[in-house]
Structure formats: C-alpha cells, structure tokens
Amino acid sequence: MGRNEVGVVVVGAGFAGLYMLHRLRGTGLSAVVLEAGDGVGGTWYWNRYPGARCDSESYYYSYSFSEELQQEWEWTERYPAQEEILRYLEHVADRFDLRRDIRFGTRVTRAEFDDGTGRWGVHTAGGQRWSAQFVVTAVGCLSAANIPQIPGLDGFGGDWFHTGRWPHDGVDLAGKRVGVVGTGSTGIQVIPVVAEQAAHLTVFQRTANYSIPARNSPVDQAFRDEVKAGYADIRAVQRASTNGHPFLISPTSALEVPEDERRAIYEAAWERGGLRFRASFADLLVDRAANDTASEFIRDKIRGIVHDPATAEKLVPLDHPFATKRPPIDTHYFETFNRENVTLVDVRATPIEQITSTGVRTTAGEHELDVIVFATGFDAMTGPLLNIDVRGTGGVTLRERWAAGPVTYLGLQVAGFPNLFTITGPGSPSVLTNMPTSIEQHVDWITDAVVHLREEGIDRMEATPAAEDAWVAHVNEVAARTLLPEAATSWYLGANVPGKPRVFMPYAGGFAAYARACAEVVADGYPGFELT
C-alpha cells in the first residue's frame, strides 16, 4: 500500500481512539489515528477550565482492558482532575506505544466513500489525503463547542472563552470582573473556583439545575489496595449495570417506603455524594411521583444552603424532574451564592439582549465585565460527526441523512455509509453511562467485526435500512418509557442548539441490555448488516 493508504483511519485520540488503535494492533490491519489537537486526551486535552474534573470516580473512570495498567496506575483523588486524567491517557499512549501511529494537529474535514474502489477517502485541514478500507470515528459526544450567537460578541472589549477551548497556559482572573454564562455540569464546576479568584463573579443562569455534592477527597493507599484486589468484581458490576458504574440501582420504589425511611436514604446518599444519588430508588427516572420525592429533597437542600431567599428561589429547579438532564455534581456550588462577590442573574426572566463593548446587557440592565466565560455546552452527539463532511454511497451526505435527527443501527453504523463505524454514536448508551465502559464495549465490538470480515474474506459491512428503522423505533420507544424526554432544555434532545432537530439521541435502555443486544448480533452472524 502507498504512503497514505491504511486499513483503518481512526478519527480522534481520546479514550476511544487510543483504545481503538491498541485493539487494531495485531489484527493485521494497519491503522492511523488523525487527531486535531497537539496531544492525546480528547475531552481531557481541551477542557482545561478551572475546576475541571470528572464526575465519575477515578477507579472506574478508567480502562479495564489491561490488568497491568489498572494495577500499576495510582489515582490520587476520588474524582480525578483534568490534569490527572490527561496524565493517565498520556501514560496509556506511551505504555502501549501508540504515538507512532497518531498524527497530531491533523483535523479531518471530509470523508467520502468511493463506490468504485470501495474505499474511504479522508481529507484533512492541512491538505493530506488518506485512503482506508474502514473509518472509525472516535470524536466524542461532547467535543463541538456551542458558543451562543449573542449580538455584539465581536465588539466585546474584554476577553472571552468557551470552557471546552480553554487556553493551555490558563487565564489570570485575579482582580477581574468575570461573567459565567451557563449552569450545566461545567458551569457548576467552574463557578465556585472562579468565585475564589475573581474580584466579582456574575452568573448568568438560564435553567436552574439540581446538583449533588461530589464529596471529593484524596484516596488513600488502603482504598487503592482494596480496589486493585477487587477489580474483577468491580468491572463485572459495571458491565451488568444500567449506567456502567460499579453499583446497581436500588430495586425498591421510592413510593414503597415510609417517608422517614425515604428521607434517611436520600440523606445518606447526599452525604456519600456523587452520581450514585440517582440510584437511590428504582423508579426515579420512570415515575413522576417517585421522581418528585428526589426533586423536592434537593430543592429543600438548596433552600437550606443559600442564605438569601430570593437567590435560593432562583436556584431551585422547577421546570424539569431531577436527572432528566445530566445531573451535575459539585464542590460548594450552592454555597458560592452566599459569597459577597457573587451575583446571580436569571436570564430566563431577563434574557441577555446584547454583549456590549464593556459587558453583558440583559433586559434588566448592563453588567460590566472584564472576562466572559461561556460554559454553554456542546452541539452534542451529532455535532462532532456533522462537523466532518461525511459522504456515503451515491455521494449522500450524513448531514442529509440526519436532517431530521440522527438515525443509526445500534449507534454503530448508518445505512448508506459502508465500513464506517461510530464509537459512542447516537442511538448507543454513551452519555447516559460511564464513558470508558461504553467506549471499551464499542471498540471491542468493532474490532471483532473487522476481524470477522477479514477472516471471511468480506470487503464491506453496512447496516440495512430496515435494521436501522427498527433500531431507531426501539431507541424512541425505550426513551418514551422514561421521564428523560421531559426536560425541554436538555442537550440529550438537541434542545440547547437553536434549529437542531428535537430527537432523544442516546439509547436509554441501559448499558447491560444494550451490550447484550450487540453480542447477540455477533452470535447470530450479524443480522441487520449487509456483508458483501
């Protein structure tokens, strides 16, 4: 094969792309990873904002594929900070000698399938062209920054940043008047840290959010030893779970237990902290009355923490049930609004009209600022894929195929796009789970598929339209059984990006059920895929 001819082009060198490259070694297929950034890490390379850390615990927000790796790596905190996860991924790249097949600073702009040769042509911003039998996207679900189109941003006299594109050498906020727009998981992490650095912080909140205390702490050697001795069981529970976490959702209904007992369970979960709060009862995501008990518990906590009653009422979420948007976890988020130097502005009541040369103007007046931080999230799930001009058979674009929202078979393939695999694509559990767990399952499945094709002498694998239709119907049906589609402003639905089709994108049937469905497809000889 020529210089830029490979078996597989992998797009992205985060958690997914690194493991994909590792698995492709030894399959007989040559592979290259094309990565826009100048280093590995994906999400953890780009999101360097103050306070950035993981909402899953370190010991399981990690790869399970190598016993040596999980035994030798030493996590220092319950929730690892961005630098620590980046260091981990850099270690993985070195330990498994991955860098020699990664091209950094190489942004993929176009990928087109050639009907004649049956190969993909992959084009980069720098003018390179690669030819491959397979393309695997490892572009992440939350990597296309959503920067709101607010009039006047170009004329702002201060500095502005999106949290997902934070400057590598940091930003000095000392003595500055800072505005943070957005109160999702990112805003809730960044706000308490910025409040400590800035002269004054103004928080522009459009939707009040539930948040559970993270209760971060250093991990001691005893805990590390216990985890390392128990990894086999921990990983087994993750794979048998709904969300890829090493704990199962309680089988008890929130409505089955007396009120004092229910309260005690919530109190204990609040004290323990973290996303596990959501697992307190079986029906929090399927029964509105059950969910109300959790939502009301958290609202009471907010009212108890925030001293000023008017501010507390603005912070209390009333427009969506708990956990129907991705629940944040925090370190002193609500407490931050008790600080003298923090102001909360409700931009649902008084919307932002304009960014002026000196600050942000809402319908209620102007806030003078030196720095604006957009913690406004991402064009989630579809954005990273549609930012690449992907063209399948007959020159049909992915953008055309997904004009009314994403359609996939198993979140792994799209009909009309042979030999293209999408790690954690729409229609797979992805963002509803602990990402490394879902990533490993997808990478393993894709590896098995391409090895099968090679062994059987098959050139081409493509989802059939019928299998795709049936999967999309199943994804919708499963989502409709939950309360998840009820959060009108959720990025799961694409509602945060103006003009984006409103479709519930991830698969809500749970990680274990999904992985079973994928395994059955393999066992049954790949029904729903055309192999030619």
The contact set with ligand N01 (CB under 6 A) reads 53-55, 142, 148, 181-187, 189, 204, 206-207, 326, 347, 352, 375-378, 431, 489, 491, 496
CB atoms within 10 A of CB 503: 22
- Lookup: tokens for 527: 């029904």
**187 alpha-carbon distance from chain centroid:** 15
Q: Which residues contact 340 (CB under 8 A, 6 or more apart)?
A: none
Distance CA(462)–CA(417), nearest Å, equals 7
- CA dihedral for 262, 264, 265, 271, sign (positive or negative): positive
**Per residue, what are the HEC states of 191-231?**
HHHHHHHCCEEEEEECCCCCCEECCCCECCHHHHHHHHHCH
Minimum distance from CB of 423 to ligand N01 (Å)? 16
Closer of 315 and 453 to ligand N01 (Cβ): 315
Closer of 329 and 390 to ligand N01 (Cβ): 329
Phi-psi region of 528 (alpha: psi -120 to 50; beta: other; left: phi over 0): left
Closer of 238 and 293 to ligand N01 (Cβ): 238
Minimum distance from CB of 521 to ligand N01 (Å)? 27
Distance CA(55)–CA(44), nearest Å, equals 13
- Lookup: tokens for 164: 């997902």
Minimum distance from CB of 54 to ligand N01 (Å)? 5
The answer to whether the CB of 480 falls within 8 A of the CB of 493 is: no
β-partners of residue 122 are 111, 130
Closer of 255 and 495 to ligand N01 (Cβ): 495
CB atoms within 10 A of CB 86: 21
The answer to whether the CB of 203 falls within 8 A of the CB of 345 is: yes
Minimum distance from CB of 395 to ligand N01 (Å)? 33
Minimum distance from CB of 358 to ligand N01 (Å)? 19
Closer of 184 and 426 to ligand N01 (Cβ): 184
Minimum distance from CB of 153 to ligand N01 (Å)? 11
| Minimal CB distance residue for ligand N01 | 184
Closer of 148 and 528 to ligand N01 (Cβ): 148
- Lookup: tokens for 43: 């999400």
Closer of 47 and 133 to ligand N01 (Cβ): 47
Closer of 320 and 401 to ligand N01 (Cβ): 320
Closer of 284 and 352 to ligand N01 (Cβ): 352
Minimum distance from CB of 249 to ligand N01 (Å)? 19
Q: Which residues contact 99 (CB under 8 A, 6 or more apart)?
A: 40, 93
Minimum distance from CB of 209 to ligand N01 (Å)? 7
Minimum distance from CB of 237 to ligand N01 (Å)? 20
Minimum distance from CB of 207 to ligand N01 (Å)? 3
| Long-range pairs, 2-7, Cβ under 8 A, ≥24 | 2/131, 4/128, 4/129, 4/130, 4/131, 5/130, 5/131, 5/132, 6/30, 6/31, 6/32, 6/130, 6/131, 6/132, 7/31, 7/132, 7/133, 7/134
Minimum distance from CB of 137 to ligand N01 (Å)? 18
- CA dihedral for 75, 81, 85, 87, sign (positive or negative): negative
Closer of 50 and 377 to ligand N01 (Cβ): 377
CB atoms within 10 A of CB 251: 9
Q: Among 391, 405, 431, which residue's Cα sits nearest to residue 143?
A: 431
Closer of 184 and 246 to ligand N01 (Cβ): 184
